[in-house]
Amino acid sequence: MSPTAVSSRPSTLPARALGLLTALAVVLGIAVFLAPPLLASIGSTSYANESAIRDAFTNAFVDYWAAGQRDYTPALDQTIDYWMRFHLAKAAIALVLLAVLVTLSVLLWKAFLRSGNLSATRRSTLASTGAVTVLLALFALLLVIANIQGTFAPFSSLLSMLPMNTADPELARTLTQINQQLADSQGAPAHTPPLDVMITDFARYHAILAVVAATVAIALIGTTILFWRRFTRSSDGRTRRVLASFGTLSTLLSLTVVVLAAVNASTAAHSAPALAGFFAGGW
């Protein structure tokens, strides 16, 4: 093997890795929006679009409330099962996408730090591409968090589809009765069975987000400490600027996620008033 071939391999392999990871990210980015409805339909009822899901859930919700029982009606159970499968598929794809984007971001920024012999244009391209990839990774992280919520509390996730300002007399009557019961109970433990189920699931919905946000916050805090430690130990100007940028971003994200965890933990602990606020249009 010639010396030229040996020296070119370190630059060729990262280029191939970048190309493969970019292609994989594009495929996963498309799949995260197109695949979940198809995967959720396997072994379950399929819906043509989100409007069909909304209509099916609204009708099933009205019937469930009228039935006055804790157990879901068959129609509601069917819709909830589909929605759980949908979010599970989306969370799984988004998690793989997040891993790919994080790996791609690391490779891009490492390439940028080693780009001293490249032109200013190529360095600028690496930096801008790396920044965009980081933003996409954050978006993928949001998808993972939101869909974990939907997977473990699909009923509360579906509640957001209810048309609160509706002209449907049956749904309007149902919403009025729910609002009245929530106002009368003032958070007391005695509720009708369907309302009790809603309050419990609403608490679960926010507790899940609180736990996931707290987990993410711990990871971000650890990453923040790592960035700033490396910043203090580095003497290279470009490396310090990159580490300072990521350290600042990670610090801000850590604070944001900590607040998110605290707010949702509080909401979970006071789910009845929070649910009343939701049905009053405050969520």
Same-domain check for residues 198 and 124: no
pLDDT digits over 190-243, tens only? 578 999 999 999 999 999 999 999 999 999 999 999 999 999 998 888 889 999
Confidence band, pLDDT 50/70/90 cuts, at residue 187 = very low
Choose one of 162, 195, 220: the last residue of a domain: 162
What is the per-residue pLDDT for 8? 39
Within this chain, do residues 36 and 58 fall inside the same structural domain, yes or no?
Answer: yes
The predicted pLDDT at position 186 comes to 56
Portion of the chain with pLDDT greater than 90, in percent: 73
- Per residue in 25-40, pLDDT (tens digit) is 999 999 999 999 999 9
Tell me, yes or no, whether 205 and 238 share the same domain: yes
The rounded percent of the chain whose pLDDT value lies above 70 is 92
Q: How confident is the model at residue 17, as a pLDDT?
A: 85
Place of tokens 């978006």: 139
Q: What is the pLDDT of residue 172?
A: 93
Report pLDDT for 117: 74
**pTM greater than 0.95:** no
Q: Are residues 23 and 112 in the same domain?
A: yes
Decide if pLDDT at 253 tops 90: yes
Pick the most confident of 13-17, 122-126, 169-173: 169-173
pLDDT of 260-276, one tens digit each?
999 999 999 999 999 99
Segments forming the whole domain that contains residue 149: 11-162
* 89 and 48 in a common domain: yes
Sequence-distant (6+) residues with CB within 8 A of 67 are: 73, 194
- 121 is a domain residue: yes
Q: What is the pLDDT of residue 121?
A: 79
Instruction: Assign 3-class secondary structure to the chain.
Output: CCHHHHHHHHHHHHHHHHHHHHHHHHHHHHHHHHHHHHHHCCCCCCCCCHHHHHHHHHHHHHHHHHHCCCCCCHHHHHHHHHHHHHHHHHHHHHHHHHHHHHHHHHHHHHHHHCCCCCCHHHHHHHHHHHHHHHHHHHHHHHHHHHHHHHHHCHHHHHHCCCCCCCCCHHHHHHHHHHHHHHHHHCCCCCCCHHHHHHHHHHHHHHHHHHHHHHHHHHHHHHHHHHHHHHHHHCCCHHHHHHHHHHHHHHHHHHHHHHHHHHHHHHHHHCHHHHHHHHHCCCC
By the 8 A CB rule, do 199 and 275 touch? yes
Rounded to 5 degrees, φ, ψ at 42 are -70, 115
Tell me if 250 is assigned to some domain: yes
Residue 46 is predicted with a pLDDT of 85
At 91-125, the pLDDT tens digits run 999 999 999 999 999 999 888 888 767 677 787 88
| Rg of the chain taking only CA atoms, in angstroms | 24
Q: How many domains does the chain contain in total? A: 2
Say which residues have a Cβ less than 8 Å from residue 270's Cβ, sequence separation at least 6. Answer: 187
* Domain end point (choices 129, 162, 195): 162
Query: How do residues 151-164 score in pLDDT, each as one tens digit?
Result: 999 999 999 999 98
In this model, does residue 2 exceed pLDDT 70? no
Note whether 133 and 154 are same-domain residues: yes
